[in-house]
Amino acid sequence: MTPTIVLPIVIGGLYTAGVYLLLDRSLTRVILGFILLGNATNLLLLSASGPAALAPVFGYAEAEEMSDPLPQALVLTAIVITFGVTAFLLAMVHRSWRLVRQEVIEIDEEDRRVASREGQDADDIDPGELPPAARPAGKGNTLHSDVDVEAQLAQRYAGIPSDDVTFPPTRGAQS
């Protein structure tokens, strides 16, 4: 039997498409990319196991004519793991959709601000000398800003139903 070039091309195409989809901001495409990577890996394991042979059952065939059952077991395990991680990713996308009503990850302005800083060591920065726009956001620190973050968040998510639950106070709790 002559080796074929079709299977390596299909495996390479699946890996390429999977990595491309993983790099997108859409969570649905990330899930599809993960599924494609799992399928490409399964095909790679099966193609690396060698040519097809007889079933690995003693008495059915000679030892030299049997196929190796290890790659098949690895593929079955990889299918189960891929299914479990895909279910977890789907649950995360569902939760994200329920909270913010979108499945595309937004560009984080804080990440952009940090990335635009010049190369400085964090130990050399004095927070008191930073301009207000470059000061770290947070609660309970000595740096205060005129912007009310809680009011901005409340205004941004006004009208969007929340699935947060408020629990009654526990016994002995101070109210």
Q: How many angstroms separate the CA atoms of 56 and 50, rounded?
A: 14
Over residues 17-31, mean pLDDT: 90
Q: Are the beta carbons of 68 and 56 closer than 8 angstroms?
A: yes
DSSP 3-state of 26: strand
Please determine, for residue 144, whether its predicted confidence score (pLDDT) is greater than 80: no
Higher confidence at residue 134 or residue 142? 134
Higher confidence at residue 61 or residue 144? 61
Over residues 76-100, mean pLDDT: 89
Q: How many angstroms separate the CA atoms of 41 and 20, rounded?
A: 16
Give every CB contact of residue 27 below 8 A, 6+ residues apart in sequence.
Answer: 89, 92, 93, 96, 103, 104, 105
Backbone φ and ψ for 101, nearest 5 degrees, come out as: 55, 35
Long-range contacts of 151-158 (CB under 8 A, 24+ apart): 157/100
Please determine, for residue 40, whether its predicted confidence score (pLDDT) is greater than 70: yes
Does pTM surpass 0.75?
A: no
Could you identify the residue written with the tokens 């491309």?
20
Of the candidate ranges 6-20, 72-86, 119-133, 147-161, the one whose mean pLDDT is the lowest = 119-133
Q: How many angstroms separate the CA atoms of 80 and 42, rounded?
A: 11
Look at residue 16 in the predicted model and tell me its pLDDT: 96
Confidence of residue 86 (pLDDT cuts 50, 70, 90): very high
